[in-house]
């Protein structure tokens, strides 16, 4: 099989190759599922915003960036406290290069994006330390299934990403509630992964809910309601709704393992038509273990975009090579989809050039 | 050209044939654009609800019917005061028969549908007698354009319908403000078209706004804001966003002439890639004149589905032949799309059988 050489088969090779063969030369619909939570504002947990309160603006601004090529809810683009630009810049560049359509699914944002979005009926999430973090889980899953069923009819396949600050902590929360051991295994936007803080937050959440590790493995709806986030039911529902018609690429890092665990609990046959699509920064990350999480409950394959910003002229992009950010807004999955659609016409060098050009334009707008 | 014999070429034959040739054997995306207004509650104006206050529930219930095959916001389905079922029943049956995907665009509903919908940032409309009926017109047009651009990439073409009670009165309002003579020419859900009442309502609205016939023909945004409804900017924006990529079938009766007039004022080149798709009940209606409105400013073709419920076993359907309801929820356009996609496999008899079967099921759910 002649495959774009910058798509890495990172896990479960035979299934990964089968999945890849289904998406080559095809045009997907990209869906960015956005939400915010109070968990994301716990100091030290997330770098997805200039400061904790700013995380409310990151997902809507990412949505605007994807649809308009610039943000409306904020000046410039979302950045980390160090000034590193959102991975949404990668996603936007990849989708534009390959002319891939994009829709936004609002799973629960405090600040609504100033662009059209699919409303799924969720609310912004509370701090999981309350043990009661997400509303309307069952209803959001149902609505998202309905949307997924319809969207699947419009496209060769779906690529579904997320923008939700603090999402790896809530991923650890849901995985723990469902009995998947993910302590020390979830990724981080920070180079120094704050595993101890994440573990403490999750343990407090489980305790507040009167639950413990694995105690909700037969009650996935309650598990999300107690210690999950609003992105999970939306993304799981979209996937379950679509995957019996078309392949679905879950575009994200270790957060997608929580979505997989939720799908596994709700409708395991869906797992047969999906893959995780992420970046080399996630699959090579020494501070997390995406494969170690997935291996505990399923054989879903992982693809990774072999992005490399080491030679970028822009320090803000070069720094991605130090482990900052790594993934988000479906950057890895969007890159894979663009490469798979266009063959070697889009490789990592072409993509980096487009990213640099868009970055330059966006910086000059400030 | 071998065309489904139950698609009537009703107006501007050469352009209609060209349009039809572009959509045959193709699969569109159907979008139902929903909104509510206080205008729709003026007694005697609309039959799109059991009583005036009920009109707030008609569009969301229609949306639910299309996506779920049943309503959630109300028991049963939307009906006229006489108990005649919503034309959404025709739309749902046609889309299901031909496996055509459907999305809902919320242009401004007081009651939100309990299904996923694309949010375009509009509000429910005020009574046009205030002379200040619609908010955010420019912003909704922009957002709808953005959505139309993306949705066009997913489909061979778009079919865009409406569900908005009182919509022919606001159509008369906008047409009048733009200098198109539509008095006595707009259609009605009622067999006795209340033209005098509509004309009086529109004249009061123009007066309240300090405007008169044609005085806003250079200011379409203000015309919608004063005496239009929220569906118009949404539907016009979706169409303008999509039509430079794919054909767009405007699925509705005389309300679509107001949308055409708005498009003509905003972006006339869009008119070259669109058609109106409606029912024989509209094009044959002696109490309205869709062609006479369109001829005043453009050459957009009209297609009509040759629906005939005269032989139906159900009195609630048979009564459509007396001129009640006639059109709505894109019933005509959805029927045309289903027939165009499936050729003679879907003719009016096949469609009526499906409608009767779905009607029976829905009645038994009550």
Q: Residue B315 — φ and ψ, nearest 5°?
A: -55, -35
CA–CA min distance A288, chain B (Å) = 35
Residue contact A150–B117, C-beta within 8 A:
no
Q: How many CA atoms lie within 13 A of B149 on its CB side?
A: 16
Which residues in chain A (238-277) have CB-CB distances under 8 A to chain B?
Answer: none
Asked if A288 has any chain B CB less than 8 Å from its own CB, the reply is no
Residue of A nearest to B147 (CA): A116
Residue contact B114–A99, C-beta within 8 A:
no
Which of the four pLDDT bands, split at 50, 70 and 90, describes residue B2?
low
Q: How many CA atoms lie within 13 A of A181 on its CB side?
A: 3
Residue of B nearest to A96 (CA): B150
Task: Point out the residue among B112, B115, B147 whose CB comes nearest to the CB of A116.
Answer: B147
Which residues in chain B (184-243) have CB-CB distances under 8 A to chain A?
Answer: none
Task: Point out the residue among B99, B144, B154 whose CB comes nearest to the CB of A101.
Answer: B154
pLDDT reported for residue B308: 96
CA–CA min distance A56, chain B (Å) = 19
Task: Give chain B's largest Cα–Cα span.
Answer: 54
Residue contact A103–B143, C-beta within 8 A:
no
B-chain CB neighbours of A143 within 8 Å are: 114-116
Is the pLDDT at B53 greater than 90, yes or no?
A: no
* B83 vs B55: CA distance, rounded Å: 14
Which residues in chain B (130-149) have CB-CB distances under 8 A to chain A?
Answer: 143-144, 146-147
In terms of Cα–Cα distance, which of A266, A28, A224, A265 is closest to A133? A224
Torsion angle defined by CA atoms of residues A358, A327, A168 and A277, in that order, rounded to the nearest 10 degrees:
120
Is the pLDDT at A3 greater than 70, yes or no?
A: no
Q: What is the pLDDT of residues A124-183, one digit of tens each?
A: 999 999 999 999 999 999 999 999 999 999 999 999 999 999 999 999 999 999 999 999
Mean pLDDT over each residue of chain A, to the nearest integer: 95
For residue A361, count other CB atoms closer than 10 A to its CB: 11
Asked if B117 has any chain A CB less than 8 Å from its own CB, the reply is yes
What pTM was estimated for this model as a whole?
Answer: 0.97
Q: What is the pLDDT of residues B101-160, one digit of tens each?
A: 999 999 999 999 999 999 999 999 999 999 999 999 999 999 999 999 999 999 999 999
Top pLDDT among A84 and A268 is at A268
Asked if A119 has any chain B CB less than 8 Å from its own CB, the reply is yes
Is the pLDDT at B189 greater than 50, yes or no?
A: yes
Quick one: tokens of A217? 């493995």
Residue contact B146–A103, C-beta within 8 A:
no
Residue contact B101–A150, C-beta within 8 A:
yes
Tell me if B78 sits within 8 A of A125, measured CB to CB: no
Mean pLDDT of A312-338: 95
Helix (H) or strand (E) holding B170: helix B167-177
Quick one: tokens of A256? 């997608």
Q: What is the DSSP letter of B274?
A: E
CA–CA min distance A341, chain B (Å) = 14
Q: What is the pLDDT of residues A26-65, one digit of tens each?
A: 999 999 999 999 999 999 888 777 788 889 999 999 999 9
pLDDT reported for residue A1: 43
Asked if B32 has any chain A CB less than 8 Å from its own CB, the reply is no
* A210 vs B263: CA distance, rounded Å: 58
The residue written with tokens 């529930």 in the block is B57
Percent of chain B with pLDDT over 90: 90
Q: How many CA atoms lie within 13 A of A317 on its CB side?
A: 22
**Which are the contacts of A165, defined by CB distance < 8 A and separation ≥ 6?**
A36, A37, A40, A41, A46, A48, A49, A55, A58, A59
For residue A108, count other CB atoms closer than 10 A to its CB: 27
Residue contact B120–A116, C-beta within 8 A:
yes
Q: Residue B348 — φ and ψ, nearest 5°?
A: -65, -30
Percent of chain A with pLDDT over 90: 90
* A220 vs A90: CA distance, rounded Å: 33
- How far is the first Cα of chain A from the last one, in angstroms, to the nearest whole number? 45
Quick one: tokens of B122? 């509009």
Is the pLDDT at B3 greater than 70, yes or no?
A: no
Is the pLDDT at B50 greater than 80, yes or no?
A: no
* A324 vs B228: CA distance, rounded Å: 51
Q: How many CA atoms lie within 13 A of B162 on its CB side?
A: 34
Mean pLDDT of B274-294: 97
Q: What is the DSSP letter of A127?
A: P
Helix (H) or strand (E) holding A332: helix A331-342
Residue of A nearest to B96 (CA): A150
Q: What is the pLDDT of residues A243-302, one digit of tens each?
A: 999 999 999 999 999 999 999 999 999 999 999 999 999 999 999 999 999 999 999 999
Tell me if B68 sits within 8 A of B224, measured CB to CB: no
Pick from B98, B100, B116, B158 the residue to mutate for testing the A interface (most A CBs within 10 Å): B116
Asked if A102 has any chain B CB less than 8 Å from its own CB, the reply is yes
CA–CA min distance B117, chain A (Å) = 5
Quick one: tokens of A339? 């490469």
pLDDT reported for residue B1: 43
Which of the four pLDDT bands, split at 50, 70 and 90, describes residue B38?
very high
Residue contact A115–B143, C-beta within 8 A:
yes
Q: How many CA atoms lie within 13 A of A34 on its CB side?
A: 32
**Which are the contacts of B81, defined by CB distance < 8 A and separation ≥ 6?**
B47, B50, B51
Residue contact B144–A119, C-beta within 8 A:
no
* B316 vs A363: CA distance, rounded Å: 62
* A275 vs B62: CA distance, rounded Å: 36
For residue B11, count other CB atoms closer than 10 A to its CB: 21
Is the pLDDT at B279 greater than 90, yes or no?
A: yes
Is the pLDDT at B191 greater than 90, yes or no?
A: no
pLDDT reported for residue A269: 97
CA–CA min distance B243, chain A (Å) = 15
Residue contact A116–B143, C-beta within 8 A:
yes
């Amino acid at each position: 099989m002649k495959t774009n050489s910058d798509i890495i088969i990172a896990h479960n090779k035979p299934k990964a190759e089968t999945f890849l063969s289904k998406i080559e030369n095809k045009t997907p619909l990209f869906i960015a599922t956005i939400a915010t939570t109070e968990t994301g504002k716990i100091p030290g947990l997330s770098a997805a915003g200039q400061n904790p309160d700013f995380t409310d603006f990151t997902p809507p601004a990412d949505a605007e960036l994807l649809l308009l090529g610039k943000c409306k809810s904020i000046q410039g683009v979302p950045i980390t406290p160090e000034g590193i630009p959102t991975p949404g810049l990668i996603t936007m560049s990849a989708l534009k290069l390959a002319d891939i359509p994009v829709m936004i699914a609002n799973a629960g944002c405090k600040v609504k994006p100033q662009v059209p979005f699919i409303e799924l009926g969720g609310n912004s999430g509370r701090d999981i330390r309350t043990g009661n973090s997400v509303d309307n889980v069952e209803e959001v899953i149902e609505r998202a299934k309905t949307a997924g069923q319809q969207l699947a009819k419009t496209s060769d396949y779906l690529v579904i990403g997320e923008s939700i600050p603090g999402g790896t902590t809530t991923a650890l929360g849901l995985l723990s509630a469902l009995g998947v051991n993910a302590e020390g295994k979830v990724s981080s936007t920070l180079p120094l992964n704050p595993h101890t803080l994440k573990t403490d937050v999750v343990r407090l959440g489980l305790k507040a809910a009167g639950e413990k590790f694995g105690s909700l493995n037969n009650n996935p709806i309650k598990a999300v309601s107690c210690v999950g986030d609003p992105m999970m039911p939306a993304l799981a529902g979209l996937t379950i709704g679509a995957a019996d018609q078309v392949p679905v690429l879950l575009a994200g890092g270790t957060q997608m393992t929580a979505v997989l665990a939720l799908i596994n609990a709700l409708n395991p046959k869906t797992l047969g038509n999906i893959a995780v699509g992420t970046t080399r920064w996630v699959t090579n990350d020494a501070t997390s273990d995406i494969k170690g999480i997935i291996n505990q409950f399923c054989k879903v394959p992982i693809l990774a975009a072999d992005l490399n910003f080491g030679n970028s002229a822009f320090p803000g992009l070069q720094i991605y090579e130090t482990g900052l950010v790594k993934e988000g807004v479906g950057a890895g999955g969007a890159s894979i989809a663009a490469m798979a659609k266009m063959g070697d016409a889009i490789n990592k060098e072409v993509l980096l050039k487009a990213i640099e050009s868009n970055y330059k334009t966006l910086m000059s707008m400030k």
